[in-house]
Amino acid sequence: MTEKVIAAGLVLPQLTRSVAEEHLEELSKLIETAGGEVAGRMLAKRPSPDPATFIGSGKAEELKRLAEEHKATLIVFDDDLSPAQVRNLEKVTGIKVIDRSALILDIFVRRARSREARTQVELAQLEYMLPRLTRQWTHLERQAGGIGTRGVGETQLELDRRIIRTRIARLKDDLRHIEQTRVTQRKSRSGVFTVALVGYTNAGKSTLFNRLTRGGAVSVDKLFATLDSRTQRIAYDMPRETVVVDTVGFIRKLPHHLVASFRSTMEEAVAADLVLHVIDGSHPQFEEQRTIGEQVLSDLGVDRSTILEVYNKHDLAATSQHWFPEPRHGNGVAVSALTGNGIERLLELIRDRELAGGEVMHLEIPHDESRLAARLHEVAEVHEQKQGEKGTRFTAWVPREFVHLFAGRAL
């Protein structure tokens, strides 16, 4: 049975109501992604959050009536709440209250498939839960007191905290080992040109991944359909051996524990030769989503010169209520990963980046210069090799720093 949910948010002075409504729309999509049904919405306007109930006592009563009217069993807030605020809101409304972070963590638990993703999500959950344990153990604290029971609640709480801290330490150790394996995998493809897809969740990264690789990545109109990074060879002729990496999506107000936990996955973007920042150009808030993506990439330390903006969903331009954005900086491209429109131009830009670091050379190396031929195989990307009377003819992409070694054998 689908759980009926009320989505709630706060309009602060620095936020317009229209933007706050867009944010609540995104929260509604998150609720649907988690398997819930949005039965009602409420936005409260305040100069600042109320320390006790976040939205104020009057609005909390109004929220209670709204939940009763729609027979809702859960209220989700678009902002992080303190344990005290959750406790007070649950007392007023009489039903369960969670915040945005708890909702996103729930979605990640459902979507995690690989060992790495499950480890990252469990770590984020435990770090989120640790400061909130007091509320969960109030039944034991009420029992504490009287002959033979003094201090029981506190003892249980400290024991639980110790167990969780021990588990957190073990998970962090597991992630360090997983990251070492990932680093080894990256080293094994050190001669390969790597293209990483990054961007806001549901911008169409997995659809673009499938278009570039003809792979089978999950591609659905849901938030966080992809948690595990996946790597596959590009399905087009390129100057160099090229692989495409799909990564977890960004989102507004992503819980910082999740950002920290998924850092190893996002390191794929840092190590990539080219980063395609995929932006849903049809979304009304595409500029905000683009800015969030830019901030995450900056925080990760991604070199701006390696980033290429890809404005996706151009097929929706005719139906969207605003003009489709023009790529900035002269190195962006508008595409439709769904229909394939603009993909050839994107491939041209990828090829240009690959060629920029070297040259495609046509060579003839005499048979008695086997060491030079071996060196070519060692440092270059050999596309074609044919035996001739005088020597072996090669077509190869050669990194710029090694071009001088073979210049005397160019055809």
Mean pLDDT of the chain: 83
How crowded is the C-beta side of 22, counted as CA atoms within 13 Å? Answer: 13
Q: Tell me how far apart the alpha carbons of residues 92 and 403 are, in angstroms, rounded to a whole number.
A: 74
pLDDT of residue 189: 56
Q: Measured between alpha carbons, how far is residue 32 from residues 35, 43, 231 in Å?
A: 5, 19, 29
pLDDT of residue 112: 72
**Beta-strand relationship, 358-366 and 391-399:** antiparallel
Q: Residues 6 or more apart from 225 whose CB is under 8 A from it?
A: 111, 202, 206, 218, 219
Write the pLDDT tens digit of every residue in 207-216.
Answer: 999 999 987 6
- State residue 142 phi and psi, 5-degree precision: -65, -30
Q: Tell me how far apart the alpha carbons of residues 190 and 182 are, in angstroms, rounded to a whole number.
A: 12
Average pLDDT over residues 170-197: 79
pLDDT of residue 64: 94
Domain boundaries, the chain: 3-107, 112-184, 191-355, 358-409
Write the pLDDT tens digit of every residue in 240-252.
Answer: 889 998 887 788 8
Topology agreement, domain 3-107 and domain 191-355: yes
List the single range of 3-17, 127-141, 251-265, 334-348 with lowest mean pLDDT: 127-141
**CATH architecture type of domain 191-355:** 3-Layer(aba) Sandwich (3.40)
CATH of 3-107, one of 3.30.300.30, 3.40.50.11060, 3.20.20.150, 3.40.50.1820: 3.40.50.11060
Average pLDDT over residues 112-140: 72
Could you identify the residue written with the tokens 């003839």?
A: 364
Put simply, whether the predicted model's pTM sits higher than 0.95 gets the answer no
